[in-house]
Amino acid sequence: MINKGTVLLETDRLILRKFKYSDAEYMYKNWGSDPKVSKFLSWPTHSDVNVSQKIINNWIEEYNNNIYNWAIELKSIHEVIGAISIVELDQASEACEIGYCISSRYWNEGFTSEAFKAVIDYLFKEIHINRIVAKHDIDNPASGKVMKKCGLTYEGTLREAKKIKGKLVNLAVYSLLKNEWISSQKNLY
C-alpha cells in the first residue's frame, strides 16, 4: 500500500476534495441536520451549524497521508452535498471499509455511486488496496443498491453488529477485491 491521503478526484458531475472550513454551512444544510440522512448512521442529527463546524474543524486537523475523507461537491451548484471516507483502514491486510452519506435531496440520482466508483478507482490504482468493504443497516436497502451498482458483492449479514440510535442493528456486508475490479475494467473495453 502507498498512502497518499485525500487527493482531489473529479467525475462528470462531482468534485471529491478535502473539506474546507467554509463547508460547515453546507454540511449542516444539506445532510448534517437531516434526520432522514442520520437515521441509519451512528451519529446524531446536528442541532445547529456549530456542531457541523466542530466536526469539519476536527476532520481538517486530522488530514494526513493515512486519512481518506472527501467532501462530495456538486459541480452544478458548487455546494458540498455529502461525504465519503475510509472509516477503517487495515494496512497489514491491504483492506479498508468505506462509509458515505449524501443529502436526501440528491438521493436516487446516482451521485453516491458516482463518488464511490471514483474512490474505488483511486484506492485500487493509486493506493494499491486489495479489498474494499462497505456495510449498511439492513433496514436501509438503498445503500446496498449503491454497493451493488459499484461492483461490490454481498458477503452476508452481521447480526446485531452495531448500535445505532440505541438499538442493535444487523449489518449487510459487501466487498470488492482488486482482481475482481481489474476483471470488470477489462470488460468495459
Residue 103 belongs to a domain with what CATH number? 3.40.630.30
- The answer to whether 75 and 114 are in contact (CB under 8 A) is no
| Per-residue pLDDT band at 189 (split at 50, 70, 90) | low
Task: Annotate 109-142 with DSSP letters as a single string.
Answer: TTHHHHHHHHHHHHIIIII--SEEEEEEETT-HH
Q: How far apart are CA 70 and CA 182, in angstroms?
A: 24
User: Is residue 4 situated within a structural domain?
Assistant: no
Cβ neighbours around 1 below 10 Å, total: 17
Number of domains in the chain: 1
Instruction: Measure the CA–CA gap between 100 and 70, rounded to whole angstroms.
Output: 9
**Dmax over Cα atoms in the chain, in whole Å?**
48
In this predicted structure, what is the pLDDT of residue 185?
86
Average pLDDT over every residue of 79-98: 97
Distance, CA of 174 to CA of 153 (rounded, Å): 5
Q: What angle do CA 46, 52, 57 make, to 5 degrees?
A: 150
**Residues above pLDDT 70, as percent of the chain:** 98
Range of the domain at 22: 9-186
Residue 107 maps to a domain? yes
Q: Tell me if 85 is assigned to some domain.
A: yes
pLDDT tens digits, 133-170: 999 999 999 999 999 999 999 999 999 999 988 899 99
Q: In b/e form, how buried is each residue of 127-148, taking b as 16+ CB within 10 angstroms? A: bebbbbbbbbbbebeebbebbe
Q: Is the pLDDT of residue 186 over 90?
A: no
| Mean pLDDT, the chain, whole residue set | 95
pLDDT at 134: 99
37-72 pLDDT, tens digit each: 988 888 889 999 999 999 999 999 999 988 999 999
**Does any domain span residue 120?**
yes
Examine residue 1 and state whether it is found in any structural domain, yes or no: no
Q: Is residue 2 part of a domain?
A: no
Mean pLDDT within 73-92: 97
82 beta partners: 72, 102
Q: What is the mean pLDDT of residues 74-91?
A: 97
Residue 34 is assigned to a structural domain of this protein: yes
pLDDT at 48: 96
- Residue 188 pLDDT: 65
